Amino acid sequence: MPPLVKGTVPFGAHRTWYRLTGTPGGEPPAVVVVHGGPGSTHDYLANLAGLAGRGWPVVHYDQLGNGGSTHLPDADPGFWTVRLFLAELDNLLRRLDIADNYVLCGHSWGGALAAAHAAARPAGLRGLVVVSSPASYPLWSREMKVLRDALPPGVDEVLRRHEAAGTTDSAEYRQASAVFYARHVCRLRPWPRDYQASYYEIYNDPTVYRTMNGPNEFHVVGTLRDWSVTKALPEITVPSLVISGRHDEATPAVVRPFRDLIPDVRWEVLEDSSHLPHLEEPARFFEVLEGFLEARCRQGNRSRKEP
């Protein structure tokens, strides 16, 4: 059983919570898991720790503002920026002494953040995995309209009525939202415990999620609403893997810029998944992920051949 260490590292006046499964420092590089939201937590991605049983050290962390990291419910909304979370990731890599040899695996917002990090061409980055992520928030919002228009009759009308009235906390809005989540966020019933854990962490402290993203996945009106990483994607030089679900809220149009603009990239769509392919199709997800890691991210094995 790989060793498991949990702790926090200082990040300015705050602290970032992390969990390390396995022993980094040699080969293969550590896989650093970057969760989504922003303002979610690592919990719904916990099963990626299974990589450590196959020799890949895994680092999970809770981005500042939620989970085991410092909560700042009274921070000015302008405090929560992409630059802050890029600085936090750089700090974590240095504090854990893995900045010279690591792979990033980001989910949703975390994949876009990981891509922005990778575009700066850090010397120690060995590979990039982007799962169900937006390259562009404006494009995300355009695609949300496409998905909402396709919801059962009357559902989007309820959503629009409450969004216009500012009553997105109402029971009727939550009931209509559940229709979208069941189709495009998590198709499993009941929701896996790990996903429920992160979902309720956001419920308990929605500060970052509501400030940067908005009230939910399909009504993105937060400070990220105009942000895009698309222009930086051609700067990424490491081998990259993109994964998304056929029923994902991160639609093919949302994900396609990663495939089109990252020079060395492969894209895999999991046919029975929506936004959580690592939970909805774990066998296929880890087959694809580990095939990429083994073929493209181990030192001295940069072959382009993958299963």
Ligand X SMILES: N=C(O)[C@@H]1CCCN1
Contacting residues for 12 by C-beta, under 8 A, at least 6 apart: none
Least Cβ distance, residue 97 to ligand X (angstroms): 28
User: Is residue 248 annotated as a catalytic residue, yes or no?
Assistant: yes
Judged by CB under 6 A, how many residues of this single chain contact ligand X?
9
d(CA 192, CA 169): 24
Smallest Cα–Cα separation from 133: which of 223, 239, 217, 24?
A: 217
Candidates 108, 141, 198, 273; catalytic one: 108
If the CB atoms of residues 52 and 279 are measured against ligand X, the closer one turns out to be: 279
* Tokens at 244, concatenated: 């998304």
Least distance to ligand X, CB of residue 36, Å: 3
Contact string 209-248 vs ligand X (x = CB under 6 A) = ----x---x--x----------------------------
Q: For residues 130 and 111, what is the distance between their CA atoms, to the nearest angstrom?
A: 5
Considering the rule CB under 6 A, would residue 36 count as an interface residue with ligand X? Answer: yes
By beta-carbon proximity to ligand X, the closer residue of 16 and 213 is 213
Q: Which of 109, 195, 258, 292 binds ligand X (CB under 6 A)?
A: 109
Tokens of 143: 């695609």
Of the candidate residues 41, 66, 101, 108, the single one contacting ligand X (CB under 6 A): 108
Query: One of 60, 219, 275, 278 is an active-site residue; which one?
Result: 275
**Residue closer to ligand X, measured from CB, 162 or 219:** 219
In the numeric block, which tokens belong to residue 215? Answer: 């009230």
Among 67, 134, 245, 257, the residue binding ligand X under the rule CB under 6 A is 134
Least Å distance, CB 203 to ligand X, is 14
Residues 54-93 interacting with ligand X (rule: CB under 6 A): none
Site for ligand X in 137-166 (CB under 6 A): 140
Options 37, 106, 215, 257; binder of ligand X; rule CB under 6 A: 37
**What are the C-alpha distances in Å from 305 to residues 64, 103, 154, 269?**
38, 18, 48, 18
C-beta separation of 133 from 107 below 8 A? yes
CB-wise, 56 or 180, nearer to ligand X? 180
Which is closer to ligand X, CB of 52 or CB of 112? 112
- Angstrom distance (rounded) from CA 41 to CA 199: 9
Q: Which of 136, 219, 248, 278 is catalytic?
A: 248
Let me know: does 126 contact 236? Beta carbons within 8 Å: no
Cα–Cα distances in angstroms (integers) from residue 232 to residues 83, 223, 262, 268, in the given order: 14, 19, 9, 21
Residues taking part in catalysis: 108, 248, 275
Binding site for ligand X (CB under 6 A): 36-37, 108-109, 134, 140, 213, 217, 220
